[in-house]
Amino acid sequence: MEILAFGVQADEKPLIEKAFAGRHEVRCLDVFLTEDTAPIATGHEVVSTSVNCALGNRVLQTLAAGGTQLVAQRSTGFNNIDLDVAERLGMTVARVSSYSPYSVAEFAWTLGMAVNRRIVRAANRTRDFDFRLEGLMGRDLHGRTVGVVGTGKIGEAFTRIAHGFGMRLLGWDIAGNPACAALGMEYVSKERLLAESDLISLHVPLMPATKHLIDAEALRLMKDDAILVNSSRGGLIDSQALVAELREGRFTGVGLDVYEAEAGLFFLDKSLETVEDDTLARLVTFPNVLVTSHQAYYTRDAVGQIVDATAANVFDYTEGRRSQNVLVPRS
């Protein structure tokens, strides 16, 4: 059987081919699965997708009409897939329930430290042999307060790093994590966390209840000199509200690895095109904002685990097994 994989990055391709070697053929495409590209999957029982593929009603209808029976998503998030439609069409949908939490947690700290210590500005200056320190002053994080929104596996890994910095730990989640509590984390209301934290990092999934969790009201609760980091899902932050607060000169720094309208932009080269997203265009102009292209997960360790889990999901499907990774079981 030939598996069709959409949205495959160049670094990811050899890992995918190795994972399926000797079991199934795999055809890797760098294009994402959309309404325009869905017909390519005709005749493929199994397709693999990335988080920036769009699997709405029309795409799933096209896949089903072409014979696709399994969608193997190469990510933990699945908000890009209409599961109700997939179930109605009798399709199986599987995802990667977990992978290295350290990849995302470490990158979240990379963003936080980069905006705190003005690393990008400093690097750009030194390339021009400008070695002034003006405007580069950061602050110690030791002794300051970190707010961790979501204390699952990634949030816990992030908290352990914060503990190593010697920070006061505040957490918010629907249920506390004993490992974080053991490190001295105090679980508080979201409002108190936002008001008291010097650095806030988001580690919750995107769902209807968390969409725009950080809205205009939440942003106004934050300290004027706070640092905000989002390496989870772009839709957690109301981007227009964030721009409005930044225009008022608020926040020491904002580190964004995700953006709520990133589909069709992130993972693609748009350098020779006019980007029509005015909100994103405004965000990247602020000197205290650092935007990266959804790369927090992108380590050899994490991607290797994602690919291996995806291959296991396909093998389970072909051999009639069902694992915890299945979101919509075979009908």
Of the residues 95, 118, 203, 294, which is catalytic? Answer: 294
Distance separating alpha carbons of residues 32 and 30, to the nearest angstrom: 7
Q: Is 118 a catalytic residue?
A: no
Contact between 17 and 26 under an 8 Å Cβ cutoff? The reply is yes
Contact between 291 and 270 under an 8 Å Cβ cutoff? The reply is no
Distance separating alpha carbons of residues 296 and 112, to the nearest angstrom: 12
Of the residues 74, 118, 233, 250, which is catalytic? Answer: 233
Region class of 4: left (phi > 0), else alpha (psi between -120 and 50), else beta: beta
Sheet strands side by side (includes 92-94): 25-28, 2-5, 46-49, 70-73, 92-94, 326-328
Three-state DSSP class for residue 146: strand
Q: Is 220 a catalytic residue?
A: no
Residues 73, 76, 78, 84: is their CA dihedral positive or negative? positive
- Per-residue DSSP letter, 33: P
Q: Is 233 a catalytic residue?
A: yes
Place of tokens 């000197």: 287
Q: Which residues contact 40 (CB under 8 A, 6 or more apart)?
A: 4, 29, 31
Q: Which residues contact 156 (CB under 8 A, 6 or more apart)?
A: 101, 177, 179, 180
The one-letter amino acid code at 25 reads E
Query: Which are the catalytic amino acids?
Result: 233, 262, 294
